[in-house]
Structure 1
Amino acid sequence: MKIVVIQGPNINMLGTRETSVYGSMKMEDIHAQMKVVAEQNGVDIEFFQTNFEGEIVDKIQECFGDSDGIIINPAAYTHTSIAIRDAIAAVNLPVIEVHISNIARREEFRQKSLISAVTAGQIIGFGPVGYHLAMIAMLQIFEQIKAVRAAREKAAPAANE
């Protein structure tokens, strides 16, 4: 199984950017912790960060047929990007949206996510630990997918008898 972690604009500035909102943990530290969880669970993990909307769309599209799930923090594009929303819908993969801050408690323009309607779920407001929660959630989704596949395979021979 493979998870792709996509980080949007300014996430590369974590640890120095508005630490009162986003904390002091750097993106690289978050990724290192996620990598440990992935290795412990036999899952491949890939990290991608960009400040450009089109590159996020391209990366989501690259996940089709190559990955099993996406953890994404689209950052400011959460509130503006129909293109990212449409790319997520097109690849038909489980996607978990993460936000370090609680967007529901922020400025009004940050409270609406255009992405959430096409994701498996959102994790917001838990700081960097939200990425760890997203890993746990994605691993659980993978287990559910495996269980459904196993049940279908078990039922298929019985249907042919």
Structure 2
Amino acid sequence: MKTLIIINGPNLNLLGKREPNIYGSLSFTEFLQEIKQKYSEIKIEYFQSNIEGELIDKLQSVGFSYDGIILNAAAYTHTSVGIGDAVKAIKTPVVEVHISNTFSREEFRHHSYISPNAKGVILGFGLQSYELAIESFMK
């Protein structure tokens, strides 16, 4: 059985409450239960933190033993050289995910420190972006 982990960054603990016009009205906890049922043949773990160092620590702790990482570093995508370096340093493939289309938002969101070292990038499909990332690891 493959083991994947979804790692979410700052403010994603507020999904379902925060800017529903951008992020939808479903909480991530509700969504996680749905995808765990849908992809029952895969072990899906979850971690969320608003703290950059905790995200780096988690990437390092799972980055040599898991089959895949789905990373939505949120605002840290555009600011954290440290998270980008952590993705580069680990062996486990990382798919960068964003709920919104970051290129349709403010210009500072058009740059990612993660993308150059990611297996792929999926953005703009709402929570379905996570499902597309899961599918990428099923082959």
Q: Is TM-score (shorter-chain normalized) higher than 0.5?
A: yes
Q: Match of 2:29, as an amino acid?
A: E
Question: Over aligned residue pairs, what C-alpha RMSD do you find?
Answer: 1.1
- Matched pairs, number: 138
**Other-structure match for 1:126:** 125
**Other-structure match for 2:28:** 27
Any idea what the Cα deviations from partners look like across 1:98-147, whole Å, max 9, x if unmatched? 1000001100011111111110111100001111111111212xxxxxxx
Any idea what the Cα deviations from partners look like across 1:20-40, whole Å, max 9, x if unmatched? 11111111122112212331x
Task: State the SS of the aligned residue for 1:16.
Answer: coil
Describe how 1:2-13 pairs up with structure 2 within 5 A.
Answer: 2-13=3-14
Q: Which moved more, 1:12-21 or 1:61-70?
A: 61-70
Give the structure-2-normalised TM-score.
Answer: 0.94
Any idea what the Cα deviations from partners look like across 1:56-94, whole Å, max 9, x if unmatched? 000000113331110010000000011111111111211
Q: Does 1:85 align with 2:84?
A: yes
Bigger Cα Rg: 1
Structure 2 runs not aligned, ≥5 long: none
Higher helix share: 1
Deviation of 1:9 (Å)? 0.4
**Other-structure match for 1:71:** 70
Report the Cα distance in structure 2 between the residues aligned to 1:105 and 1:21, rounded to whole angstroms. 11
